[in-house]
Chain A
Amino acid sequence: MASASAFTFKRPSVIPGFGITLGFALFYLSLIVLIPLSSTFLKSTELGWDGFWQTVTHPRVVASYRVSFGASLAAAAVNLFAGLLVAWVLVRYRFPGKRLIDALVDLPFALPTAVAGISLTALYAGNGWIGQYLEPLGLKVAFTPVGITVALIFIGLPFVVRSVQPVLQELEPELEEAAASLGASRFTTFRRVILPSLMPALLTGFALAFARGLGEYGSVIFIAGNMPMISEITPLLIITKLEQYDYAGATAIAVAMLLISFVLLLLINLLQWWSRKRHTE
């Protein structure tokens, strides 16, 4: 199309429709994502630096970072092992019900977070199916930070499994054969040959699960108990501020969270780039 030739930054191509498709994509991206997001950053300047800093370092807000970061890290760490285990078993072994389990791994992606939230709360409450066995042992899960971690394990599992699975599938058996023929035990082969090649994918899955956990809201608020300083997550604090019509305060916390998310996004992109590089070498 004629309009395409107007773009000097583009390599010429006979395929038409560049101008109109890129134009619409940029217009829609700006309207839905870029303008609203940047207006949030602008809005946060209304507080001034001192006001912003005071809001985001208020003891209750700092306590919420601790809860959010702690639970997300713990859940991502559990998922690092559980995800590797599930991916390994799904790729390497054959057993009845394997396809069903493979499909079920995506349940946390497909199940609305509010449903996961009330369901996990029902399971881990003192009279729930699981809670009734844990409570006599002195382990309270629902309405504590442990409950938040349980919800985030549920939410984060598919990230690790789906990052590791394709890499494990593509792994060359020759490497393992070579290690085995050189006398390495199965465990040594796993530790020295397989695990290093899975590392980028594992870390990507870990980072994705962690990032998702930080922002997660729906599945957490039901099971968290939401006690200030103890089991209150940062996203809930934004909602609380909004309900008190403290728009500037809500915006300040949101901007702090957005900055953390963007750094994580950058990190994940770097990890994926590393993973691809390792993979093509």
Chain B
Amino acid sequence: MSSKHSLVLTEAPWLRVVLITLTLTFVALFLLLPLAAVITEALRNGVEAYWEAIVEPDALAAIRLTLTAAAIAVPLNLVFGVCAAWAIAKHDFRGKNLLVTLIDLPFAVSPVISGLIYVLMFGMQGWLGPWLAEHDIKIVFAVPGIVLATIFVTFPFVARELIPVMQEQGTEEEEAALTLGANGWQTFWRVTLPNIKWGLLYGVILCNARAMGEFGAVSVVSGHIRGQTNTLPLHVEILYNEYNFVAAFATASLLALLALVTLAVKSFVEWRAAQQAAAARNAEPPASVGSLA
């Protein structure tokens, strides 16, 4: 990068120092301090109080529910993402751009509305509410509603990561595999998947982080029953509103840890993907020349 920009083309040293200092100050103020505050507040009354807040039965139930919701939502959205990307990136059909826009729709919707739409579908005042009540099925203000809302807010993650990656790969390798006698499944597992694995992992990590951390949408459909329909973020809110700050921040620190792990894995995946891309460029120079033309 630095070789690309010769010395003449960069700012005066004092200006560089000022800009870097400004950036570091901004990042420290807006990104590092909030993280530090979570940890400090969580440990305010010592490690023992911290630990107590985490192993308390309601907190454990919240952890279980959060893991359950993510364990259902992430695989479903993974299968959807792969299917959608396969259809969109490997085939040409009318209405493709519309489909891509529709897949992104959940990102444009406020989390609160993402919860509301399921209340309107399955709640007592909703379309299917009376029928569901007759058959004694609870969706809203119960676990299924939480899972549905989680699926909605994490819906686009895997698909929108995979579509550009698979589009860039083209279809030549798959066509070669098919010509050599591989069937559809074999082509996908042996040819496509190795090419998209980093993009796939990237999408899954982001999807999982949002699934475990979602607040607004889940809050609308949860019903807030302690030990039953409280996810970790909702548990944080309840403790905070009860002025139980140490417990609230202790629970929040688990979610902050999840965020840090997500960032670490994400950086690793980006690094591996860049390596793979560099290796691919070095392996077949004619292809990159061709793409320039």
Residues of A participating in the B interface, judged by any CB pair closer than 8 Å? 1, 7, 9-11, 13-18, 20-22, 24-26, 28-29, 32-37, 39-40, 43, 82, 85-86, 88-95, 97, 99, 101-116, 118-120, 122-123, 128-130, 153-154, 157, 169, 173, 176-177, 180, 186, 211, 214-218, 222, 235-236, 238-239, 242, 245, 247, 250-251, 254, 257-258, 261-262, 264-265, 269
Complex Cα distance, B85 from A21, in Å, reads 9
Interface CB pairs A-B, < 8 A, 6: A10-B94, A24-B80, A29-B102, A103-B266, A113-B216, A216-B111
CB neighbours (8 Å) of A88 from chain B are 19
With contacts A169-B1, A211-B108 known, what are 9 further pairs, Cβ within 8 A? A7-B93, A15-B175, A22-B83, A91-B1, A115-B233, A115-B259, A176-B5, A217-B219, A238-B113
Could you tell me which residues of chain B, from 21 to 40, have a CB within 8 Å of some CB in chain A? 22-24, 26-27, 29-35, 37-38
Could you tell me which residues of chain B, from 77 to 119, have a CB within 8 Å of some CB in chain A? 79-80, 82-84, 86-87, 90-95, 99, 101-106, 108-113, 116-119
CB neighbours (8 Å) of B259 from chain A are 107, 110-112, 115
- Measured CB to CB, the closest approach of chain B to A269, in angstroms, equals 7
Complex Cα distance, B79 from A222, in Å, reads 36
CB neighbours (8 Å) of A82 from chain B are 26
Complex Cα distance, B148 from A16, in Å, reads 31
Whether the pair B206, A32 counts as a contact (CB closer than 8 A) is: no
- Measured CB to CB, the closest approach of chain A to B107, in angstroms, equals 8
Complex Cα distance, B274 from A236, in Å, reads 42
- Measured CB to CB, the closest approach of chain A to B87, in angstroms, equals 4
Scan B242-278; emit 1 where CB is below 8 A from any A CB, else 0. 0001001100100110111011101100000000000
Q: Which one, B99, B102, B117, contacts A40 given CB within 8 A?
A: B117
| Closest chain A residue, CB of each to CB of B123 | A247
Whether the pair A85, B240 counts as a contact (CB closer than 8 A) is: no
Whether the pair A186, B91 counts as a contact (CB closer than 8 A) is: no
- Measured CB to CB, the closest approach of chain B to A18, in angstroms, equals 5
Whether the pair A13, B91 counts as a contact (CB closer than 8 A) is: yes
Chain B interface SS verdict (over half) = helix
Whether the pair B31, A85 counts as a contact (CB closer than 8 A) is: no
Complex Cα distance, B105 from A36, in Å, reads 12
| Closest chain B residue, CB of each to CB of A215 | B110
Whether the pair B117, A37 counts as a contact (CB closer than 8 A) is: yes
Whether the pair A112, B155 counts as a contact (CB closer than 8 A) is: no
List the 9 closest A-B pairs by CB distance, nearest first: A112-B213, A215-B110, A218-B215, A217-B216, A22-B87, A16-B184, A36-B117, A110-B259, A10-B93
Complex Cα distance, B270 from A103, in Å, reads 10
CB neighbours (8 Å) of A86 from chain B are 23, 26-27
- Measured CB to CB, the closest approach of chain A to B146, in angstroms, equals 14
Whether the pair B112, A29 counts as a contact (CB closer than 8 A) is: no
Complex Cα distance, B184 from A110, in Å, reads 36
| Closest chain A residue, CB of each to CB of B23 | A89
Whether the pair A39, B120 counts as a contact (CB closer than 8 A) is: yes
Which bucket holds chain B's interface residue count?
35 or more
CB neighbours (8 Å) of B24 from chain A are 97, 101
Complex Cα distance, B80 from A86, in Å, reads 35
Chain A interface SS verdict (over half) = helix
User: How many A-B pairs fall under 8 Å by CB?
Assistant: 298
Q: Which one, A115, A129, A130, A250, contacts B38 given CB within 8 A?
A: A115
Whether the pair B174, A123 counts as a contact (CB closer than 8 A) is: no
- Measured CB to CB, the closest approach of chain B to A225, in angstroms, equals 14
Within 8 Å of chain A (Cβ to Cβ): is B171? Answer: yes
Q: Which one, B34, B86, B127, contacts A39 given CB within 8 A?
A: B127
| Closest chain A residue, CB of each to CB of B127 | A39
| Closest chain B residue, CB of each to CB of A158 | B31
Whether the pair A235, B110 counts as a contact (CB closer than 8 A) is: yes
Complex Cα distance, B21 from A107, in Å, reads 20
Whether the pair B233, A218 counts as a contact (CB closer than 8 A) is: yes
Scan B39-53; emit 1 where CB is below 8 A from any A CB, else 0. 001000000000000
Within 8 Å of chain A (Cβ to Cβ): is B74? Answer: no
Whether the pair B37, A119 counts as a contact (CB closer than 8 A) is: yes
Complex Cα distance, B262 from A217, in Å, reads 22
Within 8 Å of chain A (Cβ to Cβ): is B135? Answer: no
Whether the pair B110, A257 counts as a contact (CB closer than 8 A) is: yes
CB neighbours (8 Å) of B212 from chain A are 112
CB neighbours (8 Å) of B27 from chain A are 86, 101, 104-105
